[in-house]
Amino acid sequence: MSMSQPQTGDSPRGLAYALAAYGLWGVLPLYMKAMAHIPPTEIIAHRVLWSLPIAAAVLLWQRRAADVVAAIRNPRLLAMAALTATLISVNWLIYVWAIANDQTLNAALGYYVNPLFSVLVGATLLREKLSRAQLVAVALAAAAVAVLTVQMGRLPAVALGLTLSWGLYALCKKSLPLGPNQGFTLEVLLLTPPALAYLLWLSVNGQSHFAAGNLTDTLLLIGCGPITAIPLLFYANGAKLLRLSTIGLLQYLTPTMVFLCAVLIFGEPMGTARMIAFPMIWAALAIYSFSLLRGAGLARRARRGGTTHRAQ
């Protein structure tokens, strides 16, 4: 069985995987909006069902199917995979519901906050040290959420739900002692029985949108497999080859693209609270990015200085 250790540096291959994943996720709202008339639970079930053949094909091509078989026989790994499968299902469900119900801006907010949530998780659980600037960034993000909460009279559930579910998924996925493709295959394998049972129930009760006379709906539901599996496989491989802080930094791409879709294509209104909260989030991300890049530059100079000193 492939056992992974926590990544301590960044790999160019990991960076390419992550960029591809976040770019594809950035245009996902356009695809999901085309299925806004289909219940989110049915869409999620099809995402699971049609992802399995793709994940299995990748695993067979890599000749790593034995890893999944071994993981199924390992209660601890099976429990960990069940947890990550649950977290990604919750994340998918919230996201699909948000797009269908004109909450795309709140979805973008959730993914903007998530990098800073990853920073907080890294500091509290992985003992990653935070600079003063990074602490300021996290505080700004918390203040932005507070502004929205006061204006709405309640917590921004969509944004926080996406932040928590994806942030915890990223953490658990990074800790899962199983190869990225094997882990994703195991996740969808665990989710397939309930997804298939639910789809059969919909069909028996005449509520299914699959093969129900509308070819477009049928093709869109089948397409849920590739649009789900491909970026998630890219992400799973990238997350294993990048530091958690780098993953957090790259996550800016997806919410920016989702934000632009919401405002420019879907025409969702910003509102006063969002006009305050989003710039606060952007400022927090700018502070965090500057801190991260400055730290990386100092580390490189320190390494060069050490090399020069040893040469002398």
Residues 209-235 pLDDT 10s: 998 889 999 999 999 999 988 898 888
Burial of residue 75, with CB atoms counted within 10 A of its CB: 0-12 exposed, 13-18 middle, 19 or more buried: exposed
Q: How far apart are CA 251 and CA 132, in angstroms?
A: 21
- pLDDT tens-digit readout, 141-181: 888 888 888 877 777 899 999 999 988 888 888 778 888 78
How many Cα neighbours within 13 Å face the side chain of 83? Answer: 15
Which pLDDT score, from 0 to 100, does residue 177 have?
Answer: 82
The number of angstroms, rounded, from the C-alpha of 159 to the middle of its chain's C-alpha atoms is 13
Categorize the per-residue pLDDT at 39 as very low, low, confident or very high, splitting at 50, 70 and 90: very high
* Best mean pLDDT range from 34-38, 122-126, 225-229, 246-250: 34-38
Which percentage of the chain shows pLDDT scores above 90? Answer: 42
Output phi, psi for 176, to 5 deg.
Answer: -65, 120
Q: Which two tokens stand for residue 169?
A: 């998924």
Long-range CB pairs of 199-205 (<8 Å, 24+ gap) are 199/42, 199/45, 199/46, 199/49, 202/42
Q: What share of the chain is helix, strand, coil (3-state, %, to 5)?
A: 80, 0, 20
Q: Is the pLDDT of residue 7 over 60?
A: no
Q: How far apart are CA 184 and CA 170, in angstroms?
A: 12
Output phi, psi for 214, to 5 deg.
Answer: -110, 105
Q: What is 156-217 written as a DSSP string?
A: -HHHHHHHHHHHHHHHHHHH-SS-HHHHHHHHHHHHHHHHHHHHHHHHHTT---TTSS-HHH
Q: How far apart are CA 164 and CA 160, in angstroms?
A: 6
Type and span of the H or E element at 64: none
- pLDDT tens-digit readout, 280-299: 888 988 887 777 667 656 55
- pLDDT tens-digit readout, 65-74: 999 999 999 9
Burial 21-30 (b: 16+ CB within 10 A, else e): bbebbbebbe
CB 97 within 8 A of CB 109: no
The number of angstroms, rounded, from the C-alpha of 36 to the middle of its chain's C-alpha atoms is 21
Question: Which residues have CB under 8 Å from 139's CB, separation 6+?
Answer: none
Residue in 194, 228, 189, 210 with CA at minimum distance from that of residue 92? 228
What CA–CA distances, in Å, run from 111 to 105, 294, 298?
Answer: 10, 24, 29
Q: Which two tokens stand for residue 18?
A: 């992550």
Q: How far apart are CA 3 and CA 268, in angstroms?
A: 45
The sign of the torsion formed by the CA atoms of 170, 172, 173, 175 equals positive
Question: Which residues have CB under 8 Å from 159's CB, separation 6+?
Answer: 106, 107, 109, 110, 113, 145, 148
Q: Is the pLDDT of residue 2 over 60?
A: no
Categorize the per-residue pLDDT at 1 as very low, low, confident or very high, splitting at 50, 70 and 90: very low
Q: Who wins on pLDDT, 43 or 247?
A: 43
